[in-house]
Amino acid sequence: MTAVYAQPTADVLERTATGDTSLSIQQLYPLDQAQDAFDAFASGTLGKLVITT
């Protein structure tokens, strides 16, 4: 697993570009459930929340 920060290093960007990373996705939310995603984020969920279209 790779932590990705607001200002990632060149190494992290390279590994992301080549697909050599994995992210912990906690939950996928369709766009019409975006408020649920924000509520989960506010409650301190672990992992990434993804809003899809």
Residue 19, in any domain of the structure? no
Its domain, for residue 41, covers: 24-53
Residue 53, in any domain of the structure? yes
Q: How many folded domains does the chain comprise?
A: 1
Q: What are the pLDDT digits (tens) for 22-35?
A: 777 889 999 999 99
The CA distance from 48 to 53, in Å, is: 16
pTM: 0.59
Question: Residue 49: what are its φ and ψ, rounded to 5°?
Answer: -110, 130
Q: What are the pLDDT digits (tens) for 4-17?
A: 567 778 988 898 88
